Protein backbone atom coordinates (compact mmCIF):
# COMPACT_ATOMS: atom_id res chain seq x y z
CA UNK A 1 0.00 0.00 0.00
CA UNK A 2 1.46 3.32 -0.99
CA UNK A 3 1.77 6.13 1.51
CA UNK A 4 -0.49 8.37 -0.57
CA UNK A 5 -3.46 6.01 -0.14
CA UNK A 6 -2.99 5.76 3.63
CA UNK A 7 -5.01 8.90 4.55
CA UNK A 8 -7.90 7.75 2.37
CA UNK A 9 -7.98 4.33 4.06
CA UNK A 10 -7.80 5.94 7.51
CA UNK A 11 -10.64 8.32 6.64
CA UNK A 12 -12.74 5.45 5.25
CA UNK A 13 -12.27 3.40 8.40
CA UNK A 14 -13.15 6.40 10.56
CA UNK A 15 -16.28 7.18 8.54
CA UNK A 16 -17.36 3.53 8.62
CA UNK A 17 -17.25 3.61 12.42
CA UNK A 18 -19.26 6.83 12.45
CA UNK A 19 -21.91 5.38 10.11
CA UNK A 20 -22.26 2.28 12.28
CA UNK A 21 -22.62 4.42 15.40
CA UNK A 22 -25.22 6.58 13.67
CA UNK A 23 -27.19 3.48 12.64
CA UNK A 24 -27.10 2.25 16.24
CA UNK A 25 -28.30 5.64 17.42
CA UNK A 26 -31.23 5.59 15.01
CA UNK A 27 -32.11 2.04 16.01
CA UNK A 28 -32.13 2.95 19.69
CA UNK A 29 -34.17 6.06 18.98
CA UNK A 30 -36.75 4.05 17.05
CA UNK A 31 -36.87 1.42 19.77
CA UNK A 32 -37.45 4.10 22.38
CA UNK A 33 -40.10 6.02 20.42
CA UNK A 34 -42.05 3.21 18.82
CA UNK A 35 -41.60 0.72 21.64
CA UNK A 36 -42.75 3.31 24.17
CA UNK A 37 -39.89 2.32 26.46
CA UNK A 38 -37.26 4.22 28.34
CA UNK A 39 -34.27 2.72 26.59
CA UNK A 40 -33.03 6.13 25.48
CA UNK A 41 -33.01 7.55 28.99
CA UNK A 42 -30.16 5.22 29.93
CA UNK A 43 -28.44 4.30 26.69
CA UNK A 44 -28.23 7.68 24.91
CA UNK A 45 -26.22 9.37 27.70
CA UNK A 46 -24.10 6.22 28.06
CA UNK A 47 -23.36 6.17 24.33
CA UNK A 48 -22.53 9.88 24.41
CA UNK A 49 -20.05 9.42 27.26
CA UNK A 50 -18.57 6.37 25.52
CA UNK A 51 -18.12 8.37 22.30
CA UNK A 52 -16.38 11.25 24.11
CA UNK A 53 -14.03 8.88 25.93
CA UNK A 54 -13.35 6.89 22.75
CA UNK A 55 -12.60 9.98 20.65
CA UNK A 56 -10.68 11.92 23.33
CA UNK A 57 -7.52 13.38 21.82
CA UNK A 58 -8.55 12.66 18.22
CA UNK A 59 -10.30 15.96 17.64
CA UNK A 60 -8.11 18.51 15.88
CA UNK A 61 -6.88 21.35 18.03
CA UNK A 62 -8.62 24.66 17.31
CA UNK A 63 -6.47 27.03 15.33
CA UNK A 64 -6.24 30.69 16.21
CA UNK A 65 -6.65 33.04 13.25
CA UNK A 66 -6.23 36.27 15.13
The whole-number pLDDT of residue 8 equals 72
For the chain, which residues make up each domain, given as ranges? 24-56
Query: How many angstroms separate the CA atoms of 13 and 8, rounded?
Result: 9
**Residue 3: pLDDT over 80:** no
The whole-number pLDDT of residue 34 equals 78
37 or 34: which carries more pLDDT confidence? 34
Distance spanning both ends of the chain, measured CA to CA: 40
Amino acid sequence: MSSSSMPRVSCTIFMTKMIILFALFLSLFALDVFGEGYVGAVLFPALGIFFIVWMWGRFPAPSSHS
